[in-house]
Structure 1
């Protein structure tokens, strides 16, 4: 019997790592396909009056973005006002306070806000370029005082990393110069010197925060637990089935060995 017990133990030891490896692969596979939803409440900066909300559904590096805002400046040079907008990241993951205004002109410029929200990592254009290179291209920026924006784009690796770390920030640019002080109204942009400071300064800002699984209103601890159980259920079932098969096989082997041992005992001379 000791030999049988050793065979059973070795068989189970061999089965467990294989089953656990299957479970790990199943978890990794399901995680890779998981969609995460992020949301930002867009609040005004630099004495502006607008507001809005942006929702970003991320699967891998593919982002489906839905955005609504209103109350921003309507006209620039007799034409609809271009409102450059981006996902910034890699810094503190914050919208800057007015104390970030270092030169005392009453405006937190894009450069003054950068220690808080970081550099441009993805451009939220209405068409074409979504890289940081398109960050100051007025031709592809949303225009007018309000926006209904829906677009699916590929995010840069830096933007994806900032989302996962909780430090991605949405910034909508384009201040109404009528709401700025006299000094700021006459300044030039530090990003595009041919433009007024107001055009490239932040107007709305919001930190992108991951929403609970199932949505902000419906996600609960019980729902999350059910999701985890569903994810590991098949792998766990496969492990149990495999372990059961090993046990059944070793029990059959034990019965054969026991029968042979009894037969040899019966054949010995008295």
Structure 2
């Protein structure tokens, strides 16, 4: 696990320089984490995620840029798999990394990063009406997740993934390739665009108001069908991914 490797490295450094090693936290209170989002599928997208965990509350902020303009972008905290971001060389023969091809790395959806008043559980994984829309977004929300999930995030097991690419440069989600989550959807609509692993914070969460973007579905022709794939995305994990890889094209 990524967390185990990080703790082992911390212990080794502390021993090397003669510093005392602090005991691990007994709860998730006060943990701050950050993650740099880098592009997948040559999307050109990038960003930064910040999270603060207090009890069963996760305050999260995600700033993204370089996404497809005028289209909604599903975004989540994934947990499971290897707890890491995938690489584009995990893609199949079509050259596009699908959500399910990436799932062995980042696991399944645990928190849906929707805007108010959208639900935030795995079942809202493709709640298109409540995800940020546009090329540049600044999202911020405090979400109640439950004690166990809060602890997993505080431990550094969460991976932030933003979905939605424009592989053919058409300016909208389209193409003959179908999503591994729902064959009524184009692959572009759910393919991951950017990914970042949440880890203990190296910088403080920015303060101040945010603009969370609109909820227009302009440039996207499959809004109704997209919601039908939410359950499949929420179930995404290494084992489920292996069973679905055959259907992603």
TM range (shorter): 0.5 to 0.7
Q: Which residue of 1 aligns with 2:182?
A: 192
What is residue 112 of structure 1 aligned with on the other side?
A: 101
Task: Tell me, in whole angstroms, the C-alpha distance in 1 between the residues paired with 2:28 and 2:161.
Answer: 28
Per-residue deviation, 1:45? 0.2
8 A Cα contact 2:32 2:154, kept in partner: no
Q: Give the RMSD, CA atoms, in angstroms.
A: 2.6
SS in 2 for 1:112: helix
**Structure 1 residues 100 and 38: CA distance shift in structure 2, 3 A:** same
Which structure 2 residues correspond to residues 46-195 of structure 1 after superposition, within 5 A? Answer: 46-74=41-69, 80-101=70-91, 103-127=92-116, 128-157=118-147, 159-178=149-168, 185-195=175-185
Query: Which residues of structure 2 form unaligned runs of 5+?
Result: 1-22, 206-249
In structure 2, how many angstroms separate the alpha carbons of the residues matched to 1:215 and 1:151? 16
**Aligned counterparts of 1:32 and 1:132: Cα–Cα separation in 2:** 24
CA contact (8 A) 2:28 2:151 kept: no
Pairing 1:40–2:30 present: no
Whole-Å Cα distance in 2 between the matches of residues 205 and 33 of structure 1? 23
Secondary structure in 1 matching 2:168: helix
Report deviation, 1:72.
0.6
Q: 1: CA distance between counterparts of 2:181 and 2:99?
A: 8
Once residues 145 and 82 of structure 1 are traced to their aligned partners in structure 2, the CA distance between those partners, rounded to angstroms, is 9
SS of equivalent residue, structure 2 residue 150:
helix
Note if contact 1:98-1:108 (Cα within 8 Å) is conserved in structure 2.
yes
How does the TM-score come out when normalised to structure 1? 0.61
Give 5+ residue unaligned stretches, structure 1. 1-26, 75-79, 217-270
Q: For the Cα contact (< 8 Å) 2:178–2:187, is it kept in 1?
A: yes
The structure whose residues are more often helix, as a share, is 1
Q: Tell me how far 1:129 sits from its aligned partner.
A: 0.6
Structure 2 match to 1:234: none
Structure of greater Rg: 1
Question: When the two structures are aligned, how many residues end up with a matched partner?
Answer: 179
How far the C-alpha of 1:142 sits from its partner, in A, is 0.9
Matches within 5 A, 1:215-254: 215=204
Alpha-carbon deviation of 1:66?
Answer: 1.6
Q: Report the TM-score, using the length of structure 2 for normalisation.
A: 0.66
